[in-house]
Amino acid sequence: MSQLKERYKLTRSQKMMVFILSMSLYGLSNMITELVPEFYLGPLEFSIEYFAFIPITLAILFHPLYAAIGASLGEVIFGEIMLGQFGGFGELEKFIAFSLAIYIAGSLVRNPKNKMQVGIAAMTAVVVHQFISMMVDIGKVWIGVEELEAVPGLAESVVVIEGFYFLNDIFFSGILFALLPTLYLVPRLYGKIEPLLGMKPRDNNMQYDTGDIVTPKLLLSAVVLASAAFFFEFLSETDFNFEWELAFAEENQNLLIWGSMGVAALIAIITITWILNRKNKQQMEPEERIAR
Amino acid sequence: MDYARKLFDKLSVEQVKIELLNTAYGNGNTFLARLDPRTMFIWYLFFGLVPWFIHDEILLAGMLLFMIVTTIMARVSPLIIFILCLGLLGQGGYLLIVSFLFGGDLTVMMPLILLTIKVSIISLASITVFCSMDPEKLSDGLLKIGLPGQVSFSIAYGYRMLPSLIEEYHHVFLSFRLRGKAPEKHGIFYYRSIIYFVKIAMLSFYPLLLSTAKRSRTTVEALETRGSLYAFNHPKVKAIKLQHLKIEWRDYGFLAFSILYMTFVFMIARMY
């Protein structure tokens, strides 16, 4: 009995299995959705954004963290690198947002047989992901355009367009490609797919610790994301951004340019020294091991 | 049916495989392809981030010019450039139209053009860097800058497994079509056929989930037997694997030229 009450644990190779499964399947689906054309009806976009049901299903059935990271990596590798569309830093943002969304969805479900929980989890995943990407897109225009408030209509239009896409994605992709297929797949796969990976199905007795779900990392990232959201909200309410730019930028444009150049150089130098340090450390390690 | 058939002709399995190999290994002998991945990462660190914080027209124009030259040097396939241009124009145009609705006028144009230039600089930089590296080089580079071994394994695994995965998916898809019944009428805008195909596309993942689960178990067991899970992040294994990466005069030259060019552009921007 005591074994049953132990929290849900996977061995290292089982984690790797979940990771590979999630990566290859979501990667494959990503390649398919990248190749299928989009349909526009005016501003309405009827595209298959993503087959979100695959990672959500896997995160509900297995360990959410490994399913989430695997899916995000699969998207980057199959959908971007292999199609020659790898976008560098942009991928980082997608990676974080998507992993977070899937992880939250997977941790929400206590009992995979409960349709209510599964449905809520599926919609949560889409809402979290789309909300983060909306915030990032708005932020890009905010940072990218100088004196945004001074340009009539631009700020509102950005928010309206992104908000519209947000709702469009939630109602279209969210229901059709996340909610319905997840509700179909989870009960069918539950108890069937786990033995193939050599593990027991998740059940009510093998729950996660609450402490496992509400990790400091999750809390921290949630707080950071929420504060970022509020920050942009705040900027739109006040003219703080715009006034600062005007008072400062006029005379000190050169200073600003050299300042940003300096910051960039600083980042580069820090990175290089960090790489070099790490290299030295790595070279040290084997010797230390021998010494021990 | 016609539209759907055309779509699936375009998606023929062989075509996809050929296209993949082309994007991966198509341009291995350009100058940029011979640079060390770390050089490219450092270069990208600057050109991928800094444009966001620059609001000077001349500076941005100079950077854009440089990016265009490097993109030409990298011999990027025209298709990718075309997709990029389409995306940029689409986004800019949308913003312009909607901001007119909110009482904007032609003054909106200038910031929008600047924004578009910024986005294109960043996109061209990433295209230059990541299209001129073949997958092995990219995964070695990522390993070198400290990403876990699982990532570079996954890239290799993806390239190895994808063709058979696509084939398997295709087979499942075709068998669903064989056993199922296609809608008799297409409906307005072919909506019945589209719904039918999308539904099959999703249903096909059910058998695939089970078979891929088996396959990933086999893969991990094979990895275990060879001790790969242990070797992924072992420093000695890494050192042997990354022996061939060396920063040469070519890399220093490229970085030095970039710095010189940027200083030159900064000087010009400062004069005006």
> In the prediction, which pLDDT does B12 show?
61
Helix H or strand E segment including A278: helix A253-291
Residue B266 in contact with residue B60, Cβ under 8 Å?
no
- Residue A268: list chain B partners with CB under 8 A: 42, 45-46
- Residue A25: the pLDDT is 92
One digit per residue, the tens of pLDDT, for chain A of length 292 reads: 444 444 567 788 888 899 999 999 999 998 888 777 666 666 666 677 788 999 999 999 988 888 999 999 999 888 777 766 666 677 777 888 899 899 889 888 888 888 999 999 999 999 999 988 888 888 877 777 766 666 667 777 788 888 888 888 888 888 888 999 999 999 999 988 999 988 888 765 545 544 455 555 566 666 666 555 555 544 444 433 333 343 344 444 455 555 555 666 666 667 666 666 665 555 544 444 444 3
Domain residue ranges of chain B, discontinuous segments joined by +: 1-25+149-232, 31-133+246-271
- The pLDDT tens digits of the residues spanning B53-90 come to 787 888 889 999 999 999 888 877 776 777 778 778 87
Would you call B157 and A84 a contact, using CB atoms and an 8 Å cutoff? no
Decide if the complex's ipTM is over 0.95.
no
Task: Go through B208-235 and write b for each residue having 16 or more CB atoms within 10 A of its CB, e for each that does not.
Answer: bbeebbebbbebbeebeeeebbebbeee
pTM score:
0.73
What's residue A238's pLDDT? 40
Which residue, B36, B4, B11, is CA-closest to B246?
B36
Averaged pLDDT, groups of 10, chain B, 272 residues long: 53 63 68 86 87 83 91 78 78 76 73 84 85 82 84 86 86 92 82 87 92 92 86 83 85 91 88 78
* 3-state SS assignment for residue A45: strand
Cα–Cα distance measured from residue A193 to residue A201, given in angstroms and rounded to the nearest whole number: 8
Contact predicate A178/A122, CB 8 Å: yes
In the CATH scheme, what is the code of domain A2-239? 1.10.1760.20
* Mean pLDDT (chain A, rounded): 73
Best B119, B205, B236 residue to mutate vs chain A (most A CBs within 10 Å)? B205
Report how far apart the first and last C-alpha atoms of chain B are (Å, whole number): 61
On whether the CB atoms of residues A68 and A55 are closer than 8 A, the answer is yes
Say yes or no for a CB contact (<8 Å) between A153 and B239.
no
Mind giving me the DSSP string for B39-53? HHHHHHHHHHHGGGG
Output the CA torsion A10→A13→A14→A16 (10° steps). 110
Name the residue in chain A with its Cα closest to that of B235. A282
- Residue contact A21–B216, C-beta within 8 A: yes
Q: Nearest CB to B111: which of A140, A151, A286?
A: A151
Contact at CB, B99 and A154, closer than 8 angstroms: yes
The per-residue pLDDT for range A1-60, each reduced to its tens digit, is: 444 444 567 788 888 899 999 999 999 998 888 777 666 666 666 677 788 999 999 999
Q: What is the pLDDT of residue B269?
A: 86
Which residues are within 8 A (CB) of A21 and not within 5 positions of it... i.e. 6 or more apart?
A58, A62, A67, A70, A197, B209, B212, B213, B216
